[in-house]
Amino acid sequence: ARGAGGAGPERGSRGGAAMDLFGDLRRMNKRQLYYQVLNFAMIVSSALMIWKGLIVVTGSESPIVVVLSGSMEPAFHRGDLLFLTNFHDDPIRAGEIVVFKVEGRDIPIVHRVIKVHEKGNGNIKFLTKGDNNEVDDRGLYKEGQNWLEKKDVVGRARGFLPYVGMVTIIMNDYPKFKYALLAVMGAYVLLKRES
Protein backbone atom coordinates (compact mmCIF):
# COMPACT_ATOMS: atom_id res chain seq x y z
CA ALA A 1 0.00 0.00 0.00
CA ARG A 2 2.90 2.38 0.71
CA GLY A 3 4.43 1.81 -2.73
CA ALA A 4 1.32 3.19 -4.43
CA GLY A 5 1.66 6.46 -2.53
CA GLY A 6 5.04 7.21 -4.12
CA ALA A 7 3.45 9.37 -6.84
CA GLY A 8 1.70 11.48 -4.21
CA PRO A 9 4.37 14.16 -3.64
CA GLU A 10 4.70 14.85 -7.38
CA ARG A 11 0.97 15.18 -7.81
CA GLY A 12 0.73 17.06 -4.54
CA SER A 13 3.13 19.74 -5.75
CA ARG A 14 0.83 20.50 -8.69
CA GLY A 15 -2.59 19.49 -7.46
CA GLY A 16 -2.05 20.12 -3.74
CA ALA A 17 -2.63 23.86 -4.01
CA ALA A 18 -5.84 23.33 -5.99
CA MET A 19 -7.07 20.72 -3.50
CA ASP A 20 -6.31 23.08 -0.60
CA LEU A 21 -8.21 25.86 -2.39
CA PHE A 22 -11.30 23.69 -2.88
CA GLY A 23 -10.99 22.35 0.67
CA ASP A 24 -10.94 25.91 2.05
CA LEU A 25 -13.97 26.81 -0.06
CA ARG A 26 -15.89 23.76 1.22
CA ARG A 27 -15.03 24.56 4.85
CA MET A 28 -16.32 28.13 4.54
CA ASN A 29 -19.94 28.57 5.41
CA LYS A 30 -22.17 30.54 3.03
CA ARG A 31 -21.97 33.68 5.11
CA GLN A 32 -18.15 33.72 5.02
CA LEU A 33 -18.17 33.05 1.27
CA TYR A 34 -20.63 35.91 0.61
CA TYR A 35 -18.49 38.18 2.77
CA GLN A 36 -15.35 37.34 0.80
CA VAL A 37 -17.13 37.80 -2.57
CA LEU A 38 -18.45 41.17 -1.36
CA ASN A 39 -14.95 42.11 -0.18
CA PHE A 40 -13.56 41.24 -3.63
CA ALA A 41 -16.30 43.29 -5.35
CA MET A 42 -15.49 46.28 -3.11
CA ILE A 43 -11.80 46.11 -4.06
CA VAL A 44 -12.65 46.04 -7.77
CA SER A 45 -15.18 48.88 -7.49
CA SER A 46 -12.74 50.97 -5.41
CA ALA A 47 -10.09 50.58 -8.11
CA LEU A 48 -12.60 51.67 -10.77
CA MET A 49 -13.64 54.71 -8.68
CA ILE A 50 -10.00 55.75 -8.22
CA TRP A 51 -9.43 55.41 -12.00
CA LYS A 52 -12.54 57.50 -12.80
CA GLY A 53 -11.47 60.07 -10.22
CA LEU A 54 -8.05 60.35 -11.87
CA ILE A 55 -9.76 60.90 -15.24
CA VAL A 56 -11.76 63.81 -13.79
CA VAL A 57 -8.79 65.37 -11.96
CA THR A 58 -6.31 65.10 -14.86
CA GLY A 59 -8.72 65.77 -17.75
CA SER A 60 -7.21 62.81 -19.60
CA GLU A 61 -9.13 59.71 -20.70
CA SER A 62 -5.99 57.69 -19.85
CA PRO A 63 -4.21 59.38 -16.92
CA ILE A 64 -1.60 56.60 -16.68
CA VAL A 65 0.01 54.88 -19.68
CA VAL A 66 2.90 52.49 -20.23
CA VAL A 67 5.58 53.17 -22.85
CA LEU A 68 5.50 50.15 -25.18
CA SER A 69 8.40 50.89 -27.53
CA GLY A 70 11.88 52.39 -27.55
CA SER A 71 10.99 55.27 -29.90
CA MET A 72 11.39 57.88 -27.13
CA GLU A 73 14.76 56.72 -25.78
CA PRO A 74 16.70 58.13 -23.97
CA ALA A 75 13.86 60.28 -22.51
CA PHE A 76 11.62 57.26 -21.81
CA HIS A 77 12.31 53.54 -22.04
CA ARG A 78 10.05 50.59 -22.74
CA GLY A 79 8.10 49.82 -19.55
CA ASP A 80 8.19 53.34 -18.09
CA LEU A 81 4.91 54.43 -16.50
CA LEU A 82 3.78 57.93 -17.58
CA PHE A 83 1.42 60.22 -15.70
CA LEU A 84 -0.66 62.41 -18.01
CA THR A 85 -2.83 65.51 -17.84
CA ASN A 86 -4.90 66.98 -20.64
CA PHE A 87 -6.23 70.41 -19.74
CA HIS A 88 -7.66 71.92 -22.94
CA ASP A 89 -6.75 75.50 -22.00
CA ASP A 90 -3.02 74.71 -21.91
CA PRO A 91 -1.39 75.55 -25.25
CA ILE A 92 0.61 72.83 -27.02
CA ARG A 93 4.23 73.87 -27.51
CA ALA A 94 7.21 72.46 -29.41
CA GLY A 95 9.34 70.23 -27.20
CA GLU A 96 6.38 68.95 -25.18
CA ILE A 97 5.80 65.18 -24.96
CA VAL A 98 2.25 64.20 -25.89
CA VAL A 99 0.32 60.95 -26.04
CA PHE A 100 -1.93 60.90 -29.09
CA LYS A 101 -4.33 58.54 -30.80
CA VAL A 102 -4.52 58.17 -34.56
CA GLU A 103 -7.64 57.02 -36.37
CA GLY A 104 -7.25 53.34 -37.30
CA ARG A 105 -4.78 52.56 -34.48
CA ASP A 106 -5.92 51.21 -31.12
CA ILE A 107 -2.77 51.93 -29.12
CA PRO A 108 -1.85 55.56 -28.28
CA ILE A 109 1.62 56.82 -29.25
CA VAL A 110 4.01 58.74 -26.96
CA HIS A 111 6.13 61.24 -28.96
CA ARG A 112 7.51 64.78 -28.80
CA VAL A 113 5.98 67.81 -30.54
CA ILE A 114 8.57 69.17 -32.99
CA LYS A 115 6.55 71.81 -34.90
CA VAL A 116 3.48 73.86 -34.04
CA HIS A 117 1.37 75.63 -36.67
CA GLU A 118 -0.96 78.24 -35.17
CA LYS A 119 -3.69 79.94 -37.19
CA GLY A 120 -5.09 83.39 -36.45
CA ASN A 121 -8.46 81.92 -35.37
CA GLY A 122 -6.78 79.95 -32.53
CA ASN A 123 -6.63 76.61 -34.32
CA ILE A 124 -3.42 74.74 -33.56
CA LYS A 125 -1.93 71.95 -35.64
CA PHE A 126 1.29 70.20 -34.72
CA LEU A 127 3.77 67.58 -35.87
CA THR A 128 5.35 64.91 -33.67
CA LYS A 129 8.41 62.66 -33.76
CA GLY A 130 9.95 60.02 -31.53
CA ASP A 131 13.31 61.12 -30.09
CA ASN A 132 14.86 57.85 -31.24
CA ASN A 133 13.28 57.93 -34.73
CA GLU A 134 14.95 59.28 -37.87
CA VAL A 135 11.80 60.83 -39.39
CA ASP A 136 8.68 62.60 -38.18
CA ASP A 137 5.37 60.81 -37.54
CA ARG A 138 3.56 61.68 -40.78
CA GLY A 139 3.91 58.03 -41.80
CA LEU A 140 2.01 57.02 -38.63
CA TYR A 141 -0.92 59.41 -39.10
CA LYS A 142 -3.97 58.35 -41.09
CA GLU A 143 -3.65 58.58 -44.85
CA GLY A 144 -3.65 62.19 -46.05
CA GLN A 145 -3.15 63.61 -42.54
CA ASN A 146 -0.06 65.83 -42.20
CA TRP A 147 -0.73 67.41 -38.80
CA LEU A 148 -2.31 66.46 -35.49
CA GLU A 149 -4.94 68.57 -33.74
CA LYS A 150 -5.84 68.99 -30.07
CA LYS A 151 -8.68 66.44 -30.45
CA ASP A 152 -6.07 63.75 -31.19
CA VAL A 153 -4.27 64.30 -27.86
CA VAL A 154 -4.96 61.81 -25.05
CA GLY A 155 -2.65 63.56 -22.62
CA ARG A 156 0.67 65.27 -21.97
CA ALA A 157 3.45 63.66 -19.99
CA ARG A 158 3.85 65.30 -16.57
CA GLY A 159 5.90 62.66 -14.75
CA PHE A 160 7.06 59.06 -14.95
CA LEU A 161 8.21 56.03 -12.97
CA PRO A 162 10.95 54.02 -14.70
CA TYR A 163 10.21 50.40 -15.67
CA VAL A 164 7.17 50.06 -13.36
CA GLY A 165 5.00 49.24 -16.39
CA MET A 166 7.04 46.13 -17.33
CA VAL A 167 4.42 44.03 -15.51
CA THR A 168 1.81 45.30 -18.01
CA ILE A 169 4.08 44.48 -20.96
CA ILE A 170 4.72 40.96 -19.62
CA MET A 171 0.98 40.41 -19.13
CA ASN A 172 0.30 41.54 -22.71
CA ASP A 173 3.10 39.42 -24.17
CA TYR A 174 2.19 36.32 -22.11
CA PRO A 175 -1.62 36.12 -21.65
CA LYS A 176 -1.37 32.88 -19.62
CA PHE A 177 0.72 34.73 -17.03
CA LYS A 178 -1.99 37.42 -16.82
CA TYR A 179 -4.77 34.89 -16.21
CA ALA A 180 -2.69 32.99 -13.67
CA LEU A 181 -1.89 36.21 -11.78
CA LEU A 182 -5.56 37.25 -11.79
CA ALA A 183 -6.62 33.79 -10.57
CA VAL A 184 -4.07 33.87 -7.71
CA MET A 185 -5.14 37.38 -6.68
CA GLY A 186 -8.83 36.45 -6.82
CA ALA A 187 -8.26 33.27 -4.79
CA TYR A 188 -6.22 35.20 -2.21
CA VAL A 189 -8.94 37.81 -1.72
CA LEU A 190 -11.70 35.18 -1.54
CA LEU A 191 -9.86 32.93 0.89
CA LYS A 192 -8.21 35.57 3.08
CA ARG A 193 -9.74 35.43 6.52
CA GLU A 194 -9.89 38.27 8.98
CA SER A 195 -7.51 37.80 11.93
Q: Which residues are catalytic?
A: 71, 111, 137
- Strand ranges of the sheet holding 124-129, from the earlier edge strand across to the other edge: 64-66, 81-85, 153-161, 97-100, 109-118, 124-129, 148-149
What's CA 78's distance to the chain center, in Å? 13
Question: Kind and range of the H or E element at 169?
Answer: helix 166-173
> Using CA atoms, how far apart are residues 185 and 107, in angstroms rounded to an integer?
27
Sequence-ordered list of residues with C-beta below 8 angstroms from that of 9, at least 6 positions apart, any chain: none
